[in-house]
Amino acid sequence: MKWSVLLNNFESYLQLEKGLSENTLMAYAKDVQKLQNYAEEINKTVDQLEYNDLNAFVGALYDIGLSARSQARVVSGVKQFFDFLILEDVLKINPAELLEPPKIGRKLPEVLSIEEIDSMISQIDLSKNEGHRNKAILETLYCCGLRVSELCDLKISQIFYEEGFIRVIGKGNKERLIPFAESVKKELGFYFDAMRNHMEIARGHEDFVFLNRRGKQLTRVMIFTIIKDLAEKAGIKKNISPHTFRHSFATHLLEGGANLRAIQDMLGHESILTTEIYTHVSNQAQREAILKYHPRNQR
Protein backbone atom coordinates (compact mmCIF):
# COMPACT_ATOMS: atom_id res chain seq x y z
CA MET A 1 0.00 0.00 0.00
CA LYS A 2 2.27 2.77 -1.24
CA TRP A 3 1.11 6.25 -0.32
CA SER A 4 2.09 7.63 -3.73
CA VAL A 5 -0.10 5.09 -5.57
CA LEU A 6 -3.05 5.59 -3.25
CA LEU A 7 -2.76 9.37 -3.50
CA ASN A 8 -2.59 9.30 -7.31
CA ASN A 9 -5.67 7.05 -7.44
CA PHE A 10 -7.45 9.33 -4.95
CA GLU A 11 -6.74 12.41 -7.08
CA SER A 12 -8.00 10.64 -10.21
CA TYR A 13 -11.18 9.67 -8.36
CA LEU A 14 -11.79 13.25 -7.19
CA GLN A 15 -11.21 14.62 -10.66
CA LEU A 16 -13.12 12.07 -12.73
CA GLU A 17 -15.86 10.95 -10.36
CA LYS A 18 -16.39 14.07 -8.24
CA GLY A 19 -15.51 16.66 -10.89
CA LEU A 20 -13.60 18.81 -8.39
CA SER A 21 -11.53 21.82 -9.42
CA GLU A 22 -7.73 21.83 -9.64
CA ASN A 23 -7.49 24.01 -6.52
CA THR A 24 -9.63 21.58 -4.48
CA LEU A 25 -7.59 18.62 -5.74
CA MET A 26 -4.36 20.29 -4.61
CA ALA A 27 -5.88 21.07 -1.19
CA TYR A 28 -6.98 17.46 -0.62
CA ALA A 29 -3.59 16.17 -1.79
CA LYS A 30 -1.81 18.41 0.74
CA ASP A 31 -4.15 17.21 3.50
CA VAL A 32 -3.37 13.56 2.78
CA GLN A 33 0.36 14.32 2.54
CA LYS A 34 0.19 15.79 6.06
CA LEU A 35 -1.33 12.51 7.24
CA GLN A 36 1.34 10.54 5.35
CA ASN A 37 4.11 12.49 7.10
CA TYR A 38 2.52 11.82 10.48
CA ALA A 39 2.03 8.11 9.74
CA GLU A 40 5.68 7.78 8.74
CA GLU A 41 6.72 9.49 12.00
CA ILE A 42 4.84 6.85 14.03
CA ASN A 43 5.99 4.04 11.69
CA LYS A 44 2.54 2.98 10.51
CA THR A 45 1.21 2.14 7.06
CA VAL A 46 -2.26 3.22 5.84
CA ASP A 47 -3.91 -0.07 6.80
CA GLN A 48 -2.41 0.10 10.30
CA LEU A 49 -3.85 3.51 11.17
CA GLU A 50 -6.60 3.48 13.80
CA TYR A 51 -9.03 6.07 15.12
CA ASN A 52 -6.70 6.96 18.02
CA ASP A 53 -3.87 7.61 15.56
CA LEU A 54 -6.04 9.95 13.50
CA ASN A 55 -7.24 11.73 16.63
CA ALA A 56 -3.63 12.22 17.70
CA PHE A 57 -2.87 13.50 14.19
CA VAL A 58 -5.54 16.21 14.58
CA GLY A 59 -3.99 17.09 17.95
CA ALA A 60 -0.62 17.43 16.24
CA LEU A 61 -2.14 19.91 13.77
CA TYR A 62 -3.20 22.02 16.74
CA ASP A 63 0.28 21.77 18.28
CA ILE A 64 1.96 23.21 15.18
CA GLY A 65 -0.35 26.23 15.32
CA LEU A 66 -2.86 25.42 12.59
CA SER A 67 -6.11 27.36 13.04
CA ALA A 68 -9.36 25.55 13.86
CA ARG A 69 -10.67 26.32 10.37
CA SER A 70 -7.55 24.88 8.72
CA GLN A 71 -7.69 21.81 10.99
CA ALA A 72 -11.33 21.26 9.97
CA ARG A 73 -10.36 21.43 6.30
CA VAL A 74 -7.59 18.85 6.80
CA VAL A 75 -10.00 16.53 8.65
CA SER A 76 -12.46 16.86 5.75
CA GLY A 77 -9.73 15.87 3.27
CA VAL A 78 -8.63 12.90 5.39
CA LYS A 79 -12.21 11.65 5.77
CA GLN A 80 -12.68 11.88 1.99
CA PHE A 81 -9.47 9.89 1.51
CA PHE A 82 -10.60 7.05 3.79
CA ASP A 83 -14.07 7.02 2.24
CA PHE A 84 -12.30 6.47 -1.08
CA LEU A 85 -10.19 3.62 0.36
CA ILE A 86 -13.36 1.89 1.60
CA LEU A 87 -15.04 2.41 -1.77
CA GLU A 88 -12.07 0.83 -3.54
CA ASP A 89 -11.94 -2.11 -1.06
CA VAL A 90 -8.43 -1.11 0.00
CA LEU A 91 -9.72 -1.09 3.60
CA LYS A 92 -12.58 -2.93 5.25
CA ILE A 93 -12.93 -0.68 8.30
CA ASN A 94 -12.92 3.12 8.15
CA PRO A 95 -10.84 4.52 11.05
CA ALA A 96 -11.89 8.09 10.17
CA GLU A 97 -15.63 7.42 10.39
CA LEU A 98 -15.99 8.94 13.86
CA LEU A 99 -13.25 11.54 13.44
CA GLU A 100 -14.58 14.97 14.41
CA PRO A 101 -13.20 18.33 13.22
CA PRO A 102 -12.59 21.03 15.85
CA LYS A 103 -15.47 23.39 16.60
CA ILE A 104 -15.13 26.64 14.71
CA GLY A 105 -17.06 29.83 15.21
CA ARG A 106 -19.29 30.89 12.37
CA LYS A 107 -17.68 33.98 10.89
CA LEU A 108 -20.14 36.31 9.23
CA PRO A 109 -19.05 37.37 5.74
CA GLU A 110 -18.17 40.97 4.90
CA VAL A 111 -20.96 42.66 2.93
CA LEU A 112 -20.97 45.88 0.90
CA SER A 113 -23.86 48.31 1.02
CA ILE A 114 -25.50 49.40 -2.24
CA GLU A 115 -23.90 52.83 -1.74
CA GLU A 116 -20.43 51.26 -1.38
CA ILE A 117 -20.89 49.21 -4.54
CA ASP A 118 -22.02 52.33 -6.44
CA SER A 119 -19.03 54.22 -5.02
CA MET A 120 -16.62 51.55 -6.30
CA ILE A 121 -18.23 51.56 -9.74
CA SER A 122 -18.00 55.36 -9.88
CA GLN A 123 -14.19 55.10 -9.52
CA ILE A 124 -13.87 53.27 -12.84
CA ASP A 125 -12.25 55.34 -15.59
CA LEU A 126 -14.56 54.83 -18.57
CA SER A 127 -12.27 56.84 -20.84
CA LYS A 128 -10.14 53.68 -21.00
CA ASN A 129 -11.36 50.59 -22.84
CA GLU A 130 -10.59 48.41 -19.81
CA GLY A 131 -12.92 50.62 -17.80
CA HIS A 132 -15.97 49.26 -19.60
CA ARG A 133 -14.67 45.72 -19.04
CA ASN A 134 -14.14 46.37 -15.32
CA LYS A 135 -17.60 47.87 -14.93
CA ALA A 136 -19.11 44.83 -16.65
CA ILE A 137 -17.12 42.59 -14.26
CA LEU A 138 -18.50 44.33 -11.16
CA GLU A 139 -22.05 44.36 -12.48
CA THR A 140 -21.88 40.64 -13.33
CA LEU A 141 -20.38 39.69 -9.96
CA TYR A 142 -22.95 41.68 -8.00
CA CYS A 143 -26.06 40.99 -10.11
CA CYS A 144 -25.40 37.26 -10.60
CA GLY A 145 -23.56 36.27 -7.39
CA LEU A 146 -20.82 34.41 -9.25
CA ARG A 147 -17.69 32.90 -7.73
CA VAL A 148 -14.55 34.49 -9.15
CA SER A 149 -13.63 31.21 -10.90
CA GLU A 150 -17.08 31.13 -12.51
CA LEU A 151 -16.61 34.70 -13.75
CA CYS A 152 -13.18 33.87 -15.22
CA ASP A 153 -14.60 30.79 -16.97
CA LEU A 154 -17.77 32.52 -18.24
CA LYS A 155 -18.19 32.02 -21.99
CA ILE A 156 -20.15 33.92 -24.61
CA SER A 157 -21.98 30.68 -25.46
CA GLN A 158 -23.30 30.58 -21.88
CA ILE A 159 -25.08 33.95 -22.13
CA PHE A 160 -28.67 33.92 -23.38
CA TYR A 161 -29.48 37.59 -23.94
CA GLU A 162 -33.04 37.16 -25.20
CA GLU A 163 -34.05 34.92 -22.29
CA GLY A 164 -32.10 36.99 -19.75
CA PHE A 165 -30.15 34.05 -18.27
CA ILE A 166 -26.56 32.92 -17.99
CA ARG A 167 -25.62 29.25 -17.69
CA VAL A 168 -22.94 28.73 -15.05
CA ILE A 169 -20.81 25.63 -14.49
CA GLY A 170 -20.03 25.66 -10.77
CA LYS A 171 -18.35 23.41 -8.21
CA GLY A 172 -18.48 19.70 -8.95
CA ASN A 173 -19.24 20.54 -12.60
CA LYS A 174 -22.83 21.36 -11.60
CA GLU A 175 -24.85 23.57 -13.91
CA ARG A 176 -27.24 26.32 -12.85
CA LEU A 177 -29.19 29.08 -14.62
CA ILE A 178 -29.03 32.61 -13.21
CA PRO A 179 -31.24 35.48 -14.39
CA PHE A 180 -29.34 38.72 -15.00
CA ALA A 181 -30.43 42.33 -14.69
CA GLU A 182 -30.74 44.74 -17.60
CA SER A 183 -27.66 46.56 -16.24
CA VAL A 184 -25.52 43.45 -16.89
CA LYS A 185 -26.75 43.19 -20.48
CA LYS A 186 -26.08 46.91 -21.00
CA GLU A 187 -22.56 46.89 -19.51
CA LEU A 188 -21.56 43.75 -21.40
CA GLY A 189 -22.70 45.50 -24.59
CA PHE A 190 -20.57 48.57 -23.78
CA TYR A 191 -17.56 46.34 -23.03
CA PHE A 192 -17.89 44.41 -26.29
CA ASP A 193 -18.35 47.62 -28.35
CA ALA A 194 -15.50 49.51 -26.66
CA MET A 195 -12.92 46.75 -26.28
CA ARG A 196 -13.62 43.11 -26.98
CA ASN A 197 -14.91 43.40 -30.57
CA HIS A 198 -11.70 45.20 -31.58
CA MET A 199 -9.18 42.82 -29.99
CA GLU A 200 -6.89 40.24 -31.48
CA ILE A 201 -7.97 37.23 -29.42
CA ALA A 202 -5.52 34.44 -28.59
CA ARG A 203 -6.25 30.99 -29.96
CA GLY A 204 -8.38 28.95 -27.57
CA HIS A 205 -9.72 32.04 -25.80
CA GLU A 206 -12.31 33.09 -28.41
CA ASP A 207 -15.35 32.09 -26.31
CA PHE A 208 -14.28 33.60 -22.96
CA VAL A 209 -16.18 36.76 -22.07
CA PHE A 210 -13.58 38.63 -20.03
CA LEU A 211 -10.14 39.04 -21.60
CA ASN A 212 -6.95 40.90 -20.78
CA ARG A 213 -5.22 43.27 -23.19
CA ARG A 214 -3.34 40.34 -24.77
CA GLY A 215 -6.63 38.70 -25.73
CA LYS A 216 -6.42 35.94 -23.13
CA GLN A 217 -8.82 34.82 -20.39
CA LEU A 218 -8.64 37.01 -17.29
CA THR A 219 -7.12 35.37 -14.21
CA ARG A 220 -8.48 35.33 -10.67
CA VAL A 221 -5.48 37.37 -9.52
CA MET A 222 -6.24 40.12 -12.04
CA ILE A 223 -9.85 40.38 -10.88
CA PHE A 224 -8.70 40.53 -7.24
CA THR A 225 -6.33 43.36 -8.19
CA ILE A 226 -9.06 45.32 -10.02
CA ILE A 227 -11.43 45.11 -7.06
CA LYS A 228 -8.81 45.91 -4.41
CA ASP A 229 -7.77 48.99 -6.41
CA LEU A 230 -11.36 50.26 -6.78
CA ALA A 231 -12.11 49.66 -3.08
CA GLU A 232 -9.02 51.68 -2.12
CA LYS A 233 -10.00 54.54 -4.45
CA ALA A 234 -13.52 54.53 -3.00
CA GLY A 235 -12.08 54.77 0.53
CA ILE A 236 -13.65 51.50 1.65
CA LYS A 237 -11.80 50.04 4.64
CA LYS A 238 -13.49 46.63 4.60
CA ASN A 239 -11.55 43.55 3.53
CA ILE A 240 -12.86 43.38 -0.05
CA SER A 241 -12.52 40.51 -2.53
CA PRO A 242 -14.55 39.31 -5.54
CA HIS A 243 -16.40 36.99 -3.13
CA THR A 244 -17.66 40.06 -1.23
CA PHE A 245 -19.92 40.81 -4.19
CA ARG A 246 -21.35 37.28 -3.97
CA HIS A 247 -22.07 37.81 -0.25
CA SER A 248 -23.64 41.19 -1.01
CA PHE A 249 -25.78 39.68 -3.78
CA ALA A 250 -27.24 37.08 -1.41
CA THR A 251 -27.70 39.45 1.54
CA HIS A 252 -29.42 42.15 -0.51
CA LEU A 253 -31.76 39.58 -2.10
CA LEU A 254 -32.69 38.24 1.34
CA GLU A 255 -33.27 41.74 2.72
CA GLY A 256 -35.46 42.45 -0.30
CA GLY A 257 -37.68 39.48 0.53
CA ALA A 258 -36.28 36.76 -1.77
CA ASN A 259 -36.91 33.13 -0.85
CA LEU A 260 -33.93 31.43 0.83
CA ARG A 261 -34.31 28.34 -1.37
CA ALA A 262 -34.21 30.48 -4.53
CA ILE A 263 -31.03 32.17 -3.28
CA GLN A 264 -29.53 28.72 -2.60
CA ASP A 265 -30.23 27.69 -6.20
CA MET A 266 -28.74 30.86 -7.64
CA LEU A 267 -25.60 30.55 -5.51
CA GLY A 268 -25.23 26.86 -6.30
CA HIS A 269 -25.02 25.80 -2.64
CA GLU A 270 -25.42 22.07 -2.12
CA SER A 271 -26.85 22.55 1.38
CA ILE A 272 -29.39 25.13 2.56
CA LEU A 273 -27.32 25.37 5.76
CA THR A 274 -24.58 27.16 3.81
CA THR A 275 -27.09 29.71 2.51
CA GLU A 276 -28.60 30.27 5.95
CA ILE A 277 -25.53 32.24 7.06
CA TYR A 278 -27.00 35.21 5.16
CA THR A 279 -29.98 35.25 7.50
CA HIS A 280 -27.47 35.89 10.31
CA VAL A 281 -25.91 38.74 8.30
CA SER A 282 -29.35 40.25 7.74
CA ASN A 283 -30.29 39.83 11.42
CA GLN A 284 -27.05 41.47 12.50
CA ALA A 285 -27.79 44.49 10.29
CA GLN A 286 -31.27 44.75 11.81
CA ARG A 287 -29.82 44.56 15.32
CA GLU A 288 -27.32 47.34 14.57
CA ALA A 289 -30.12 49.50 13.15
CA ILE A 290 -32.20 49.03 16.31
CA LEU A 291 -29.26 49.82 18.58
CA LYS A 292 -28.41 52.92 16.56
CA TYR A 293 -31.84 54.40 15.89
CA HIS A 294 -34.32 53.17 18.52
CA PRO A 295 -35.09 56.01 20.97
CA ARG A 296 -34.72 53.71 24.01
CA ASN A 297 -31.12 53.00 23.00
CA GLN A 298 -30.30 56.65 22.38
CA ARG A 299 -30.91 57.68 25.98
Catalytic (active-site) positions: 147, 171, 243, 246, 269, 278
Closest C-alpha to 51, from 89, 93, 83? 93
Work out the burial of residue 261: count CB atoms within 10 Å of its CB; fewer than 13 is exposed, 13-18 middle, 19 or more buried.
Answer: exposed
How far is residue 91's CA from residue 1's CA, in Å, rounded to a whole number? Answer: 10
CA–CA distances in Å: residue 77 to residues 24, 88, 117 = 10, 17, 36
Q: Which of 57, 28, 48 is nearest to 91 (CA)?
A: 48
- Rg (C-alpha) for the chain, rounded Å, is 23
CA 282 – CA 84 distance, rounded (Å) = 39
- CA proximity to 211, closest of 132, 287, 281, 122: 132
* Longest Cα–Cα distance in the chain: 70
